[in-house]
Amino acid sequence: MTYLNWFIITTNRCNLFCQYCQNEPHPDLPIEPNWEVEQLAQFLEKDENPTICFYGGEPLIFIELIQEVMDAIPADHYTLQTNGLLLHKLPTEYLNRFSSILISLDGNEKITDYSRGEGTYKKILRNIKDIRSRGYNGDLIARMAVHEKSDVYKDVLHLLNNNNLTFDNVHWQLDVQWDEGIETRWNDFPNWVKLYNKGISKLVRYWLEEMREGKIRGIVPFLGIFRNIVNETSTDLPCEAGLRSFAIRTDGVITICPLPPEYEFTIMGDLDSSTPSQLENSLRIGEKCQECEVYGLCGGRCLFAEKSKLWGEEGFEMVCETVKHLIKELEGIKEEVLGLVNNGIIKLENFEYPEYNNTTEIIP
C-alpha distances out from residue 26 to 57, 254, 295, Å: 11, 16, 33
Is the model's pLDDT at 1 over the cut of 70?
A: no
125-156 residue pLDDT tens: 999 999 999 999 999 999 999 999 999 999 99
Cα 360 to Cα 249: distance, rounded to the nearest angstrom: 20
H or E element that contains 16: none
Is the model's pLDDT at 260 over the cut of 90?
A: no
163-198 residue pLDDT tens: 999 999 999 999 999 888 788 889 999 999 999 999
CB 226 within 8 A of CB 348: no
Average pLDDT over residues 102-106: 97
Cα 49 to Cα 76: distance, rounded to the nearest angstrom: 6
pLDDT of residue 363: 98
CA quadruple 133, 64, 14, 275: dihedral, nearest 10: 110
CATH no., domain 4-351: 3.20.20.70
Cα 120 to Cα 116: distance, rounded to the nearest angstrom: 7
pLDDT of residue 22: 65
Cα 147 to Cα 151: distance, rounded to the nearest angstrom: 9
pLDDT of residue 21: 78
Cα 251 to Cα 211: distance, rounded to the nearest angstrom: 47
7-59 residue pLDDT tens: 999 999 999 988 887 667 778 899 999 999 999 999 999 999 999 999 999 99
What's the mean pLDDT when you consider all of the chain?
A: 95
List phi, psi (to 5°) of 128. Answer: -65, -45
Which residues are CB-contacts of 15 (< 8 A; sequence separation ≥ 6)?
A: 58, 61, 83, 85, 86
C-alpha distances out from residue 352 to 118, 244, 339, 356, Å: 37, 19, 18, 10
**Is 135 strand, coil or helix?**
coil
**Is 31 strand, coil or helix?**
coil
pTM: 0.97
